[in-house]
Amino acid sequence: MPPSAPMDRRTEHITTDYLVIGGGVAGLRAAIELGRSGEVLVVTKAEPTESSSEYAQGGVAVALSDEDEISIHYEDTLKAGDGLCIRRAVKTLVEEGPMRIRELMVWGAEFDREGAKLAFTQEAAHSKRRILHAQGDSTGREIMRVLIDKVRSTGKAVKLDFAFTVDLLLSRGRCCGAVVLQEKLGKTLIISAKAVVLATGGAGQLFERTTNPLVATGDGMAMAFRAGAALLDMEFVQFHPTALYRPGAPQFLLSEAMRGEGGKLLNARGIRFMDAYHQARELAPRDVVTRAIHTEMAKTGDDHVFLDMTHLSTDYVKTRFPRIYATCQEYGIDITATPIPASPAAHYIMGGVRTDAWGRTTVPGLFAAGETACTGVHGANRLASNSLLEGLVFGERAGLAAARYAAGPQGKKRPVPAPSLRHARSSANKPLSTGARERMRVELKRLMWEQVSVVRDRKTLAAALRRLQAWAKELKNAPFESKALELRNMVTTALLITRSALLRENSVGAHYRSDFPGKGKTWRKRIVLEK
């Protein structure tokens, strides 16, 4: 049962064929597919373009160049995943990826070109130049533009923005809708649907330093867990090596492509250091580069390193990275003349709601795609620029599977009407004040950054778990307000990450335990959490 609604809030019942929660690449691609067979309601908690997809700079990885092959992309993905990728999911990603990109271009996507040919760049752990980009460093924005236009053109999809999904609704063990809060309008919506697709993105906002937008608070993972769905590999959080480090400036992502195009990493003493950590230097896998930076900062006692682009042509840097150049200029940094202060930041979670290759979760009627989901395609460490491709490929597949489910025996039965929300609230636990909740949010982000971050150990993980459990108890009776409910989701997802990190007593991919620095004998095990 979802939290109780205040007496003065209007409750409305809505029925649709399909409910998509989340408006990034995966959610929109699912909505396009679902629109072919019924009415679709797409719910987002902020404005239409606010998602990690919109901020994706580097590009989208796909084997389309003359020098590349699907089999090479497959091997690169497996290698980056450090032995924990689910091979059939990777095979699906790299084989169907080219079709999804060609489809985007038919729909109007304009990727950068060199003459008549598509322009490709290289990023860390890729053995070929296979990264497509748009407007230099605005690839996510271009893909989102095309998908939003396509969703509108179907005439079957309705978008509901600034609407916070509180919880999923179940009927006889299957998902049949959700409770959605439109706080500014004073409305609570009970939405019934034949099938539900979760595509709420990641959980970077759980950490003090992150490249993720404000909406990335782990909502979908927390909701799915409360609904009884299994979650997989939650300990694997990828920390991007290079985010802008400047007091008063946003933690702006300094794209992997900057190192792919020749950017060098220097420590605070001006020494290039990646030679000491990996033969691929700046193009080593992300987890290796991130830990190298972490080690260098510890050695020098500094809180950042530098990404140096000054040896490259000024015109080339401005043309290739216009958005990054302009943003750094705003904060007094000319990246063509001065090395850029940078340090790691939480960027992507490889774990999530457990799904098969068709987005099916362990709860009938509930599907998931994109960063919210875990198909196992990324293993223990995502290969750079595979995320946009993942959203396109598995968003389409989740849409197809949800439509098939709705056409089957279970989907044909209209969902049992959702129960009305309770209007009475138990006064056993006094709800936290707004100020107390804001303090908890700040403390949560600091706790996760300091104790469940790049380097972990049993003592700090156990201490973090105890603190999170205490906060979860305090938030049990969270007020029916979006910020309070969002904080509840953050604590739930933080608990899942921390518990998984404590259970994995080895180091693999992005998960590094200083008390268990090697892979050990049990490193191939998967950690599955269920309510």
In this structure, are residues 30 and 37 in contact, taking their beta carbons and an 8 Å threshold? no
Q: Single out the residue of 439, 26, 50 nearest to residue 217, CA to CA.
A: 50
Burial class of residue 286 (count of CB atoms within 10 Å of its CB; 0-12, 13-18, 19+): buried
Question: What gap in Å lies between CA 46 and CA 106, rounded to an integer?
Answer: 29
Q: How many CB atoms lie within 10 A of CB 225?
A: 22
Length of the chain, please?
531
Question: What gap in Å lies between CA 8 and CA 239, rounded to an integer?
Answer: 43
Q: How many CB atoms lie within 10 A of CB 8?
A: 7
Q: How many CB atoms lie within 10 A of CB 105?
A: 13
In this structure, are residues 227 and 167 in contact, taking their beta carbons and an 8 Å threshold? yes
Question: What gap in Å lies between CA 347 and CA 204, rounded to an integer?
Answer: 6
Report the DSSP pairing between strands 264-266 and 120-121.
unpaired
Strands of 373-374's sheet in order across: 373-374, 352-354, 231-232, 528-529
Active site residue 286: yes
Which three-class secondary structure state does DSSP give residue 98? helix
Rounded to 5°, angle at Cα 416 from 414 and 419: 145
Tokens describing residue 149: 């236009």
Phi, psi of 354 (to 5 degrees): -70, 125
DSSP single-letter state for residue 435:
H
Tokens describing residue 112: 């950068």
Residue of 29, 130, 174, 286 marked catalytic: 286
Question: What gap in Å lies between CA 473 and CA 177, rounded to an integer?
Answer: 26
Report the DSSP pairing between strands 237-244 and 60-61.
unpaired
In this structure, are residues 375 and 401 in contact, taking their beta carbons and an 8 Å threshold? no
Q: Single out the residue of 416, 441, 373 nearest to residue 224, CA to CA.
A: 373
The residues annotated with a catalytic role in the active site are 286
